[in-house]
Amino acid sequence: MKLGFAITRAASVDATWTTLHLARAALARGWPVRFVEPWDFEVDRRGHLIARAHAFDPGATLPALEDLAVALIHRTATRRFVDVSTLSMLLLRAAPLDDAVLAFAAVARDRGVAVVNDPFGVLAVSHKAWLASVPGAPVPPSVVTRSRASAQLFFAEQETGVVVKPGRGSGGRGVSRVPPGNEEALDAAFAEASAAGDGYVVIQRFLPEGDQGEKRLVWADGEILGGYLRHRADGEFRHNLKRGGHAKATEITARDRAVAASVSPALMRAGIRIAGLDVIGGWLIEINALNPGGAFHADRLGGTRIAEGILDRLAR
Task: State the distance between the two ends of the chain, measured CA to CA, in whole angstroms.
Answer: 11
Contact 247, 261 (CB under 8 A): no
Residue 242 has pLDDT above 80, yes or no: no
Contact 163, 204 (CB under 8 A): yes
Domain with CATH 3.30.1490.20 in the chain: 141-206
Q: Which CATH superfamily is domain 209-314 in?
A: ATP-grasp fold, B domain (3.30.470.20)
In three-state form (DSSP H/G/I as H, E/B as E, the rest C), the secondary structure along 138-158 is CCCCEEEECCHHHHHHHHHCC
The pLDDT of residue 97: 86
Instruction: Indicate the angle between helix axes 18-28 and 295-302, nearest 10 degrees.
Output: 70
The pLDDT of residue 169: 85
| Tens digits of residue pLDDT in 77-104 | 999 999 999 999 999 999 988 999 999 9
| Tens digits of residue pLDDT in 142-187 | 999 999 999 999 999 999 999 999 999 877 789 999 999 999 999 9
CATH number, domain 141-206: 3.30.1490.20
55: helix, coil or strand? strand
Lowest average pLDDT, out of 38-52, 196-210, 242-256, goes to 242-256
| Tens digits of residue pLDDT in 190-234 | 999 999 999 999 999 999 999 999 999 999 999 999 999 999 888
Average pLDDT, the chain: 96
Pairing of strands 89-93, 3-7: parallel
Residue 236 has pLDDT above 90, yes or no: no
Domain with CATH 3.30.470.20 in the chain: 209-314
Per-residue pLDDT band at 237 (split at 50, 70, 90):
confident
Q: What is the DSSP letter of 292?
A: -
3-116, what's its fold? Rossmann fold (3.40.50)
Distance, CA of 312 to CA of 297 (rounded, Å): 20
- For residue 13, the Cα-to-chain-centroid distance in whole angstroms is 15
User: Where are any strands of DSSP class E within 8-146?
Assistant: 33-36, 41-43, 49-56, 78-83, 89-93, 114-116, 142-145
